[in-house]
Structure 1
Amino acid sequence: MQAAVDDSVSALVALQHAPAGALVPVDGDAATHDRVQAAFEAMAPNTRRAYGSALRTWGQWAAAQQVSGLCPSPAALRRYLLERASEGAGVSSLTVFVSALRKLQALAVVEPTARDQLVVDTMSGLARQAAAPRQVSALTVGALAAIYETACFPRVGRGGVLEGAETALRRGLVDIALCWVMSDAGLRRSEAAALTWDDIARWDNGSGRLTVRRSKTDAGPRTVYLTPIAMAHLEAIRPQDADGSESVFGLSVASISRRVKAAARTAGLGAGYSGHSGRVGMARRMARAGAPTHEIMAQGRWKSAGMVADYTRNENAERAAKWLG
C-alpha cells in the first residue's frame, strides 16, 4: 500500500504541506488512510513547513538527476547530501531533509532507503566536519593591503542606498585604520570598541604605543606596539579637535565585526573574517617574521602558548622548509 504520491516535486511538497485535519488522499484501506491522517494531525505546523521546504529542494534535485524522489538509492542520497553541504547547507538543514524523507517513506510504505547505513554514516561524517574547529581568517599584510585598495569604494548600505563619495571615503578610512590597528595590536573587538585617543601615543620614529585598558584576561592595562603605517591610518581619521576621551572608531562591538566582514568581502578576500581576525593576523605576521612565541604572547596578551601555537600552526610548519629545502 502506498500514499498517493509520486516522484514529482508538487506531490512531495503537497503531502508535507497538508494542514492538520485535512484529508490526505491515499491508496489502500482505511487503516492506511488513518495512519497517514494521524501522522499529519500530530505534526506541528512549523514541522510541516520545514519538511515541505526540504522536500521541495530535494524534489528539484531528484528530477534534474532523474532519480526517484520517493525511494532513491542510498548512493543517490549520499550524493545529494554531499552536494548540498558543499553549497553551504548546514547539518541541521540536512537533518530536517533526512527526517522528512524518512517520514514520507514510512507513510508511503516503501523501502526506507533514507535509513540506510550509508546515509547514516554520511550524516555522521558531515556532523563531525561541522563540529571541527575552523580557524578564523587572518588580517595578514596581504589582506590589509587588499582592504586598503578597496575600502573607500561606495557600497550599498543596510538600507539599500548607495553611499555618496564623501561618505564612502570617511567610512573607508575608518575601516582601514580599524583593520590595521586590530592586526597590529591583536585587539579583540571589545578592546577596539573601548579604545580612546588617550590610549594612543606617537613616538618620534613614527611608530606608536597603544594601551589596552579593558581586556578579557588582564586585570590591569597593557601597552603594545603599533607600526608606523597603522599610526598613519589613525592620523587620517583623527579629528583636529579630538578630545582624549573620545572613541577612536566610534563603533559598537557588533558594528566592528560587521565592518571587518564587509571590508574583507569588498576586497574579495572571501568568508571567515570577523572581529577576531586581527588577533589571528597579528600572531601569523609575527610568526612569519620569526618572532619567538613569548614575544607573540606579549603582543597578544596571551597567558598560554597554546593559542599562539594554534593560530600559527601553518607558519610553524613552514619553518621546516629551512631544513628540508
Structure 2
Amino acid sequence: MGMLEGKVVLITGAGRGIGRGHALTLAAHGAKVIVNDLGTSLTGEGADKGPAQEVVDLIASRGGEAVADVEDISTWDGAANAVAHAVEHFGRLDGLVNNAGIARPSDIADLTEADFDALMGVHLKGTFGCTVHACKHWRGRADAGERVRASVVNTASDSAFFSTPSDSAYAAMKAGIQQLTMCAGRETGAYGVRMNAVAPRAYTRMARYLIPGFEIREADSYTGEESPFDPSNASPLVAWLLSDDSAHVTGLLFRTLGGGFARVSGWQMEPIIFPKDGSSHFAVEEIGRVLNTEVFGCAVRDIPIDFAPGDPRAAAGTKDSAAGRRS
C-alpha cells in the first residue's frame, strides 16, 4: 500500500513541469489526483485541455486514478469549481498542492499593470483562492464531527530569497505565498489542516528565460535516469508532506535542489536595540551611530585601548581611533 493510498489530492498547474512530476509521483504512491491545468502559454495566455488530459492518461496507463480539470484558478469562481470538482468526482478532498504559475520577466521600470495583474492572479490569488475553498470544505467536515487530516503544500520560489534580475513582481508574489503558509498554517490546525511550502529548483519551460536554448524535458522522460534537472526531484518531499507521516509538520518552508532539501527559516529579526538612557526613542542624530556600531559593525568604536606596560600612550588615555585601533 502506498503512503498516500486513498487520499484525494488537487494539484494546480499539473499539466507540465513540476506539477506534472507531482501528479505522477503522488499517483504512484496511491493518491487519486485532480490534474488542474488551464493549458496556457508560459506567459498565461490561451488555453489547451491537452496537457492535463495527457497526464491523466499517463496515470491511468500506470494503474492510477486521475481526472482532468481545466478551471482557471486565477479567478475566485475557478478556484471554487476546481475544489468542487474534486469533491464531486472522488467524494472528498484530502490534499491541495498550489503549484500553478506563469512568468513575465520584466525590468521593474518596464512592468505593466497587465503583467502585474496576471502574475498576481495565478500565483497569489490562485493560491489563496484554492486554499480558501479547500479550507471551507475541510472546516465544514470538522464541524460535522469528522476528524480531518488534510494538508496543503504551496509552491514558493528561490526568487523570494535569492532574487534574480527582472524577477521583482514574481518574487513578490512568491514571498506572499510564503507568508501565507506561515500564518495560515497556525489558523487551520484548529480543524485538522496543515500547511507547508516547497521552493523547488527544476529545469522546466521557465528555465528558458534563464538558460536560452536549454532542452526542456518533462518529468516522466527521466525514467531510470538520475538527473539534477528532473522536474520531479522535489515531488518525494511533497508526497511526504501530504501524508499522515508528516502530521506534526506545519507552517514550514523547504527548499529543494537536485534531489536534496533544506528547511528555510522565516524572516529573521536580530535583537532589538533600545536607548541606553531609558528614553522611549532615539534622537534622529543618534540613529546612524547606533546602526553603524551596533548593527552594521562598520564604524570605529570609541573604546579604550590596552597598551603594554611602559607605553607612554597609556598615560595619555588614548582612545580607539582609525590610527591606533587594535587589529
TM-score w.r.t. structure 1 length? 0.24
Q: Which has the larger radius of gyration?
A: 1
The structure with the greater share of residues assigned to strand is: 2
Relative to its length, the structure with more helix (as a share) is 1
